Amino acid sequence: MTFSDEKNKIESGALYLVATPIGNLADMSERAKKVLSEVDFIAAEDTRNSGKLLNVFGIKKPMISYFEHNKYARGDEIIAKIKSGDSCALITDAGMPAISDPGEDIVKMCRESGIPVYVVPGPCAAVSALALSGLSTRKFVFEGFLSSKKSERRRELGKLSSETRTIIFYEAPHRLAETLTDMLDVLGDRKISICRELTKINEETVLTTLSDAVKYYASNEPRGEYVLVVEGASDDADDDGSFADMSIAEHVAHYESRGMSLGDAMKACARDRGVSKREIYAAVMKK
Ligand code: SAM
């Protein structure tokens, strides 16, 4: 571990991705405060929200708003300022920039323009929830927010139905009950860890099952911010050769019954059997 003055000097013409608390202000790191105090300007998802955060720490800096709907025009402006020698810190409303938050595009633009990008790591709701979940943390996938449209959401879940790694989702409270129902219908009953209001006064993590969660939220209103950590599919069915006992049509129907479109079901079937999708298509059409 190093605590080097050299490394902690702000470099001109560089972008710093600075993680901020996901609820508990005491999680603001010393380095985050130092970088935000010393850069030339701060790009923030919501300058009003970030203004409040910076006020708490007595930091005053010029801010530029950078969010989903102005990211292209603002991105060019920010890159031009950095190229002229300014140092910039990017922050979002909470947590790690670029993770279900603005940042991905500006980092890409910096990389393409040869601008150095550094990270000031810190809180991230997804990783915190995974670690707290009580589910396997050895291998996982992060899905962020599912679609707000029911049919699209079920299609997305269908694609995940044979995913054996632990799956992490973000979800808004007003959509939680519907999403849990879709998960139960498409993924089948499995363990889920529901993490709410992490690092805040009402922090709560409940390891339960999708069927019990659906029942619970049918009569209890969700409140606060949620991360859902869902157990991966058991890999017995896919890996132990049990598909060998099914015809191709049964194999495809098995995936369709778990919510996949015909196209995705054929793709999954082709992958399991190690054959081309064309071969599966031909067998299904012959049926
Ligand atoms: N970049 C952020 C991060 O690193 O965690 C995530 C931003 S995303 C727009 C916001 C979502 O993260 C929320 O809707 C919620 O699902 C999750 N989230 C953020 N803070 C949370 C908290 N304190 N407790 C639980 N979930 C949280």
Give the model confidence (pLDDT) of 40-90 as tens digits.
999 999 999 999 999 999 999 999 999 988 888 899 999 999 999 999 999
Report the pLDDT value the prediction gives residue 274, as an integer from 0 to 100: 84
Span 156-170, average pLDDT: 95
**Whose CA is closest to atom 16 on ligand 1?**
170
Mean pLDDT of the chain: 93
pLDDT at 257 over 90: no
**Ligand 1 atom nearest to 169, measured from its CA:** 16
Report the pLDDT value the prediction gives residue 285, as an integer from 0 to 100: 85
Report the pLDDT value the prediction gives residue 68, as an integer from 0 to 100: 86
Span 244-269, average pLDDT: 83
> What DSSP letter does each residue of the chain carry, written as one string?
----TTTTSPPTT-EEEE-B-SS-GGG--HHHHHHHHHSSEEEES-HHHHHHHHHHTT----EEE--GGGHHHHHHHHHHHHHTT--EEEE-SSB-TTSSSTTHHHHHHHHHHT--EEEE----HHHHHHHHSSS--SSEEEEEEPPSSHHHHHHHHHHHTT--SEEEEEE-GGGHHHHHHHHHHHH-S-EEEEEESTTSTT-EEEEEEHHHHHHHHHHS---S-EEEEEPPPPSHHHHSSGGGGS-HHHHHHHHHTTT--HHHHHHHHHHHHTS-HHHHHHHHHH-
What proportion of the chain, given as a percentage, has pLDDT over 90? 77
**Ligand 1 atom nearest to 23, measured from its CA:** 23
pLDDT tier, 241 (very low <50, low <70, confident <90, very high otherwise)? low
Report the pLDDT value the prediction gives residue 211, as an integer from 0 to 100: 96
| Overall pTM surpassing 0.75 (yes/no) | yes
pLDDT at 272 over 90: no
What residues does ligand 1 touch, defined as CB less than 6 Å away? Answer: 22-23, 92, 94-96, 99-101, 124-126, 170-172, 195, 197-200, 225-227
pLDDT at 207 over 60: yes
**Whose CA is closest to atom 2 on ligand 1?**
95
Span 233-243, average pLDDT: 63
pLDDT at 160 over 70: yes
> Probe ligand 1: pick from 22, 176, 229, max atoms within 8 Å of CB?
22
Report the pLDDT value the prediction gives residue 147, as an integer from 0 to 100: 97
pLDDT tier, 273 (very low <50, low <70, confident <90, very high otherwise)? confident
pLDDT tier, 239 (very low <50, low <70, confident <90, very high otherwise)? very low
Give the model confidence (pLDDT) of 183-196 as tens digits.
999 999 999 999 99
Span 81-100, average pLDDT: 98
pLDDT tier, 254 (very low <50, low <70, confident <90, very high otherwise)? confident
Give the model confidence (pLDDT) of 108-140 as tens digits.
999 999 999 999 999 999 999 999 999 999 999
Long-range CB pairs of 24-29 (<8 Å, 24+ gap) are: 24/199, 24/200, 25/53, 25/56, 27/122, 27/123, 27/199, 28/53, 28/57, 28/122, 29/120, 29/122
